[in-house]
Amino acid sequence: MVCDLCPRMCHAVRTAELGKGYCRMRSVPVLARAALHHWEEPPISGTKGSGTIFFSGCSLGCVFCQNDEISHKDYGKPISVARLADICDELISQGAHNINFVTPTHYAHVIRELLDSHPLPVPTVWNCGGYERVETLKALDGKVSIYLPDLKYMDPGPAQKYSEAPDYPNRATTAIREMVRQTGPCQFDADGLLKQGVIIRHLLLPGQLAGAKEVMDWVSEAFEPGAVLFSLMSQYTPWGRASEFPEIDRPLRKSEIRAAQQYMDALGLEGFVQDSESAKREYTPDFDLTGI
């Protein structure tokens, strides 16, 4: 395949044997873990867990990535689409409330093929960094139930410095509008589990409170109340290449978390606020090929 799935549009020739392009991945799926996950937002994790499938590789270069082992160091195992379908079925048999594709952007072609040939009886979650091509998302229209994108930055400066993507703000905001167009407002089942909709996540970074406020301002202005949910995350832990950037090579301060929460409340954004206790390395799953 000649790949133009993500905004980098590097037109790399990816084959089943050879990984190319910014994501460095083959055309076949490469997975690092597939298991029930209990630490997503409550209406996604529910009581039994979300069936998370972690793909290797990434179209972003976030220097602080907590999944650095698989997103940048490419750990994982190549599998077939047929095996991916079996993994989905196995997670559902374990009680998964949904199938949660984590960092799926560069495997949009695989997921589209999977969902065309193997419709799933539970909601599907597109759990991504927000750096998406609208054209790629449109090819998934009607196939993805829940979009779970990050909205990391509204300023091209930090987007370039920390994620190698100065076009991130425009790409992510345009993509999120398309996601909302596809799903409409959030819909829940009788047990309070999310069936359809968009939850926008923002990870607080040290010293970037102004940027967090810009993100929340955009969400508040872009969507009517109830159209989306917002998830303010405070799980940041210095990771990956964060040591190369002294200003973010520290934990969040409680005052930063408190100020961001207060701003979210003042805007009246509906959603979730992550407990500061989640900023621990043990909350990052082990990428040990579990379930693969």
How many other β-carbons are positioned within 10 Å of the β-carbon of residue 234?
A: 22
End-to-end CA distance of the chain: 24
Torsion over CA: 112, 194, 50, 163 (sign): positive
Rounded Cα–Cα distance for residues 282 and 286 (Å): 9
Rounded Cα–Cα distance for residues 175 and 148 (Å): 12
Q: What is the pLDDT of residue 283?
A: 61
> Is residue 67 within 8 Å of 55, Cβ to Cβ?
no
Rounded Cα–Cα distance for residues 244 and 196 (Å): 39
Q: What is the pLDDT of residue 275?
A: 77
Spell out the residues 6+ positions from residue 283 whose beta carbon is closer than 8 angstroms to its own.
Answer: 39, 235
The pTM assigned to this predicted structure is 0.97
Triad 104, 110, 115: Cα angle to 5° = 95
Quick check: helix, strand or coil at residue 245? coil
Q: What is the pLDDT of residue 181?
A: 98
Rounded Cα–Cα distance for residues 48 and 44 (Å): 10
Per-residue pLDDT of the chain (292 residues; tens, 9 = 90+): 999 999 999 999 999 998 989 999 999 999 999 999 999 999 999 999 999 999 999 999 999 999 999 999 999 999 999 999 999 999 999 999 999 999 999 999 999 999 999 999 999 999 999 999 999 999 999 999 999 999 999 999 999 999 999 999 999 999 999 999 999 999 999 999 999 999 999 999 999 999 999 999 999 999 999 999 999 999 999 989 999 999 999 999 999 999 999 999 999 999 999 976 665 565 678 999 999 9
Rounded Cα–Cα distance for residues 18 and 12 (Å): 10
Rounded Cα–Cα distance for residues 284 and 286 (Å): 7
